[in-house]
Amino acid sequence: MIIERAAYISMVIMTISLFIAFLRLVKGPSTPDRIVALDLITMLTLGMILAYCMLTGQFVYLNTTIILALITFLGTVAYARYLEKRVL
Amino acid sequence: MIEWFVAILLVSGAIFMLLAAVGVLRFPDLFSRMHATTKASSFGAGLMLLSVILHVQELFIILEAMIVLIFIFLTAPVASHMIGRAAYFLQVPLWKGTIIDELHDRYNLHNHTLASESPDSATD
Amino acid sequence: MEIIIVILSSFVIAFISPLIYRIFKHLTGWVLSLVPLALFIYFATYLPQICAEECRTFAFVYHWVPSFGIDLSFYLDGIALIFSLIITLIGAFVVLYGGEYLRNHQHINRFFMYIFLFMGSMIGVVLSSNLITIFIFWELTSFSSYLLIGFNNERAESRYAALQALLITGIGGLALLAGFILLGQMGGSYEITELLTRGHLIRAHSFYLPALILILIGAFTKSAQVPFHFWLPSAMEAPTPVSTYLHSATMVKAGVYLLARLNPMLGDTQAWHDIITIAGTLTMLVGALIAVSQTDLKKILAYTTISALGMLMLLVGVGTVLAIKAAMVFLLVHSLYKGGLFMVAGAIDHSAGTRDITRLSGLWRMMPLVTIAAALAAFSMSGFPPLLGFVGKELIYSAKLQAPNASVILLISGIIANAVNVAAAMMTGIRPFWGKTHHAKCKHIHKVHTALWLGPMLMALLGLIFGLIPNLISMPLISPAVSSITGSQVVFNLQTWHGINLVFLFSIITFILGLMFFFSRNRWRKISTYLMFLKPLYPSQIYEKGLHGLLSLAKWQTKVLQNGYQRFYLITIVCFIVLMGGIQLVRLGGLPDSISFAGVKSFEIGLVLLMALAALAAILSKKRIAAVVSLGVLGYGVALIFVLFGAPDLAMTQILIETLTVIIFVLVIYHLPSFKNFSHRGVRIRDAIISVLAGIMMTFFVLLSINLQLAPTISAYYDENSVILAHGRNIVNVILVDFRGLDTMGEITVLAVAAIGVFALLKLKSKDH
Amino acid sequence: MRSLILRTAARQLLPIFIIISIIIMLRGHNAPGGGFIGGLIAASAYILYDIAYGVVDARRVLRMDPLYLIGLGLACALGSGIPSFLIDSPFTAQEWITFTIPFYGKFAVTSPLVFDLGVYLTVIGVLLTIVFSLAEE
């Protein structure tokens, strides 16, 4: 029982941090700030999925987290490459 | 007893995530913000994964959680490194309070090549 | 069973005729004409059976589309027999004549192919007894007439004439189909044999009038009645054998055949008699009046054909037994002499090189045989006593005398039309041949080949023989045909000479009038030039304007709808959906009252709020990359929702697609212009309103669909037998791969095509510039 | 311009990505996964390689033009339908031929597997065609 409540709390915490990260994303003066914020948001999504697994006790979502962990870094790298190419 | 420990791990993971978010918001310039996103968030995710590992009995699930953990610690640094590089090339303004910029003289602004890459420079 | 072979045989011959041409070269005409001759003899064998008292008929049924009640059923009775005999007889002469006439034309093998295609479809029209089968063969005749009219396709006029003929008979065909379907609904089946017995039911039915009008449009366009007559003269672009076969003897009579065939079901109502009689008389007069002022041989014959068709229609419209008898006899007579005259005109054109009657004279020395044939045909056309034409004309006058109503008008118009016939016969059949031959006017005249004069000569002789002994055809041919039309058993015999009586008096008047028309033809030509100011009213002009109007409308509509502005397409689509959805929502009484927020957890609301903010940020962002990033956030939000609602597969796909979109965006962004604000405020507000409306409408739909239980959810079905049938627990994948494998097949093909499209766009573009 | 770290990461990650994509593709029938997702992962592996090393090396590593992959994939997908022709059942109904390998227990060679492979290859082919031709732009 304690775990459900803990998971619920962490879900709420994570939602709040999502909003905060989004704030940076909107405010972010330069593009890399936005990309950093997006990176954080993806990590938060991963966290939320984990918390949700704990909440429902169904661990089938871990496959999704594997994909999430692997692929989001690809997005960030693509953004980075675009920024470098634009500079040249 | 173990349940308490798992719950604490989980919530602390979430709190670290929160710290990362706050860090990203409040840090003065890009490079310090990157500290927050990469280190704090991956550590937070690590803690949560740990709580999952402890909470779960089946082997496969633990294995999958371990893989996620490894991947996070494998990919997050590469991603933020790439962003840092790109940001530096874009001359994103440093925090006025920065004391030393070691990369300054090794990177020539005109042809955007790092000293380390150019063939002639001694690889120090 | 043999009827199927008969019909198919001409189609088969059509497709192997190019081969036969390669073997026999110039003799193909003679060889191929044996086929219609054989068919003629085959049909002739039915003569004794048909004309026996009980008039037995032969039927053959092959169930083609049983669900609609359409089957290839064929049915040979009196009227079908008389038509098939005409088709096959004249077909034989035409093939023979065509082989010679087009001897050195480079596409002559195609000519044979089209002619046999036409003959097959014409026999099909005449023999089939299922309405839809008649329609199919009907359209086939239009199709083959298009090919034949546009035979020498390098000339623009023939292409134009072919298209005109196709469009008009095509539209008529469509009306005919609609009429047949209505008729089928009324009578309960498409079989003519069954419909025959339900005449009274059909006549009383409310659909009767629309069906009648539609069928009449079909018949009138095909038989070139007044408003739709102008395609026939312009169809003279076709080579002469085609004009002989299609546009005088057989195809244009299909309309008359159809009305005769449907007479027992649709006939004998006031509407039937009035419309057809009026149309017939009008066509007869218009055809006659224009014919007088023409100078081209084939044009005169074309217009007199229109007038003859009018006469036939008129007789069918009158509908008395005598009128039908007169119609049948006239049908036969007209086919013989008009076919003959057309062939004569072809022979003159072929050897003398011109068809302008003002320049033709004294040809009899060059082609004596053609002169005899032409004279005989001309006398038959003008109704000179010994010939069948006289018998026909007498019958027509007596039928008009006894016509139930307005017989006086019919009589007068009949006399005028026949007078013009006499004049036309003189102009085409006799004038070009007698008189002195002045070489200056027409270039050297070479000998006429046997094939060219054999056809007209035989036909003219037939006219003479039938004229002298009319009983030859009355017993076996005319009476069964008339009985099958009027539905009552009729047996009669014809005699050439009725003695001096009122009808004979009319013949003499006609003859005198005709001579007057002939000698005053130049004055008629001047008069017709005065009528030029009526030109815009001519139906051909209306057709012209209608066509241009249609094309310009199409151009305008495409310009408006497809103006190349992608945003315009989106707006039209979204507005349309919003409109349709909105109306439906209002009609169904707006929002469901029970919107419960029970099961929603707090962080779900937070997530949805974040996604809304992200979407907003994407719109308001100044830089394109910022918009892409906020879209990224939206994408991950959606992925998260998939997870929260238990769809790991979808979440994985969403994440992957999200990242790959970013990658492709990044590759493409480099080339896109930066976000200058192209649209000024007004446009943006309009777009905002549209999108907000669409959003609201979509939420209503979702809310409605939640508590709307349309059908038992299919997931139950997949649930229990996804393991049993497809041995897989992951239902999503099982569906994708097994149950709906074909859809996935389609999807990956679409993906492949998209990839090849992108590849082509990028690779080919970069090479050429 | 190319960062050494990204290059080494890409070279190491490529095999891992491919293995994961094959795992996900193979177990697609029972657990979340399937040809489509597997294809996406494999494609993103090669895209990562392209970002790190550039298109020429990426094409070299792929050793096959992505267009052939599309063709191969579609062929496989169609091919999986053929056995159902022989047994006269609906076109893409799947046939199961199960036989047992001594130590492994029941092992089923299935036509849905071939179909999934077809989807897998087509998706990789599609994505790589698009990305590579864009990258070469």
Nearest CA in chain C to A24: C630
Say if residue B121's pLDDT is above 50: no
Whether residue C5 contacts residue C72, with contact meaning beta carbons closer than 8 Å, is answered with no
Virtual CA dihedral for C324, C328, C333, C338, nearest 10 degrees? 90
Higher pLDDT, C490 or B25: B25
Residue A17 has a pLDDT of 93
* Interchain CB distance below 8 Å, D34 and C660: no
- Do C424 and C314 sit in the same domain of this protein? yes
Say if residue C723's pLDDT is above 70: no
Q: Give, in order, the Cα–Cα distances in Å from C73 to each of C62, C131, C259.
A: 6, 10, 19
Residue C133 lies in a domain: no
Q: What is the pLDDT of residues C641-698, one digit of tens each?
A: 999 888 888 888 899 998 898 888 888 877 776 666 667 788 888 888 988 999 888 8
Q: What is the pLDDT of residues C46-60, one digit of tens each?
A: 777 665 544 555 667
User: Mean pLDDT highest for which of A27-41, C74-88, C196-210?
Assistant: A27-41
Q: Is C82 left (phi over 0), alpha (psi -120 to 50) or beta?
A: alpha
Confidence of residue C42 (pLDDT cuts 50, 70, 90): confident
Say if residue C169's pLDDT is above 70: yes
Which D-chain residues 9-28 have CB contacts (< 8 A) with chain B? 9, 13
* Interchain CB distance below 8 Å, C643 and A19: no
* Interchain CB distance below 8 Å, D31 and A71: no
Mark whether A and D touch (3+ CB pairs within 8 Å): yes
* Interchain CB distance below 8 Å, A70 and B75: yes
Residue C189 lies in a domain: no
Nearest CA in chain C to A65: C652
Residue A9 has a pLDDT of 92
Q: How many Å from the N-terminal Cα to the C-terminal Cα in chain D?
A: 19
Residue C653 lies in a domain: yes
Q: What is the pLDDT of residues C200-247, one digit of tens each?
A: 887 888 888 888 899 999 998 888 888 888 888 888 888 888 888 887
Per the structure, the count of domains in chain A is 1
Confidence of residue A18 (pLDDT cuts 50, 70, 90): very high
> Mean of the per-residue pLDDT values for chain C?
81
Mutate to test the interface with A, among C603, C620, C661, C732 (most CBs of A within 10 A): C603
Report ipTM for this prediction.
0.89
Structure tokens at A60: 């089938």
* Interchain CB distance below 8 Å, D51 and A71: no
Q: Give, in order, the Cα–Cα distances in Å from B114 to each of B77, B109, C176, D3, D98.
A: 20, 9, 83, 10, 59
Of C32, C231, C201, residue with least CA distance to C115:
C32
> Mean of the per-residue pLDDT values for chain B?
83
Mark whether A and B touch (3+ CB pairs within 8 Å): yes
Whether residue C545 contacts residue C661, with contact meaning beta carbons closer than 8 Å, is answered with no
Residue C90 backbone phi and psi in degrees, to 5: -65, -30
- Do C448 and C589 sit in the same domain of this protein? no
Enumerate the residues of chain B whose CB falls inside 8 A of the CB of residue A61.
Answer: none
Amino acid sitting at position C291: A
User: Mean pLDDT highest for which of A77-86, C416-425, C542-551?
Assistant: C542-551
Residue C175 lies in a domain: no
Higher pLDDT, B50 or C720: B50
Residues C597 and C601: their CA atoms lie apart, in Å, by 9
Residues C672 and C628: their CA atoms lie apart, in Å, by 13
Higher pLDDT, C67 or B27: B27
Listed residues C519, C540, C555: the one ending a domain: C519
Range of the domain at A16: 2-87
Residue C462 has a pLDDT of 83
Mutate to test the interface with D, among A77, A84, A85 (most CBs of D within 10 A): A77
Say if residue B123's pLDDT is above 50: no
Residue D85 has a pLDDT of 66
Q: What is the pLDDT of residues D33-79, one digit of tens each?
A: 778 889 999 999 999 998 888 888 888 888 888 889 999 998 888 88
Virtual CA dihedral for C578, C581, C582, C584, nearest 10 degrees? 160
For the segment D24-29, the average pLDDT, to the nearest whole number, is: 79
Range of the domain at C693: 564-593+677-710
Q: What is the pLDDT of residues C383-401, one digit of tens each?
A: 777 777 777 787 788 877 7
Structure tokens at C183: 């008729």
Looking at the whole model, is its pTM more than 0.80?
no
Structure tokens at D38: 């597997």
The SS3 of residue C461 is helix
Burial of C707: CB neighbours in 10 Å, binned 0-12, 13-18, 19+: exposed
Nearest CA in chain B to A54: B52
B61 at D interface, C-beta within 8 A: no
- Do C585 and C647 sit in the same domain of this protein? no
Confidence of residue B124 (pLDDT cuts 50, 70, 90): very low
Residue A47 has a pLDDT of 93
* Interchain CB distance below 8 Å, B78 and D5: yes
Q: Which residues of C228-256 are buried (b: 16+ CB within 10 A; e: fewer)?
A: bbbbbbbbbbbbbbbbbbbbbbbbbbbbb
Least confident of B97-101, C429-433, C674-678: C674-678
The SS3 of residue C551 is helix
Mutate to test the interface with A, among C604, C619, C640, C732 (most CBs of A within 10 A): C640
Confidence of residue C708 (pLDDT cuts 50, 70, 90): low
Q: What is the pLDDT of residues C585-629, one digit of tens each?
A: 888 776 666 666 777 778 888 899 999 999 999 888 888 888 889
Q: Give, in order, the Cα–Cα distances in Å from B75 to each of A41, A82, B45.
A: 15, 19, 13
Residues near D117 by beta carbon (within 8 Å), at least 6 away in sequence = D25, D35, D73, D76
Mark whether B and C touch (3+ CB pairs within 8 Å): no
Q: How far apart are the CA of A87 and the nearest CA of chain B, in angstroms?
A: 7
Enumerate the residues of chain D whose CB falls inside 8 A of the CB of residue A79.
Answer: none
Per the structure, the count of domains in chain C is 4
Q: What is the DSSP letter of C532?
A: G
Domain ranges of chain D: 4-131
Say if residue D103's pLDDT is above 70: no
Least confident of B117-121, C185-189, C224-228, C273-277: B117-121
Structure tokens at C480: 């069964």
* Interchain CB distance below 8 Å, A82 and C656: no
Mutate to test the interface with D, among B70, B82, B107 (most CBs of D within 10 A): B82
A32 at C interface, C-beta within 8 A: no
For the segment B5-19, the average pLDDT, to the nearest whole number, is: 93
Residues C749 and C75: their CA atoms lie apart, in Å, by 50
Residue C687 lies in a domain: yes
Listed residues C519, C543, C577: the one ending a domain: C519
Residues in C lying within 8 Å of D, measured between beta carbons = 648-649, 652-653, 656-657, 659-660, 663-664, 667-668, 671, 726-730, 732-734, 736-738, 741-742, 744-745, 748-749, 751-752, 754-756, 758-759, 762-763, 766
Say if residue C96's pLDDT is above 80: yes
Listed residues C710, C731, C761: the one ending a domain: C710
Structure tokens at C547: 């066509």
Residue C331 lies in a domain: yes
Structure tokens at C544: 């012209």
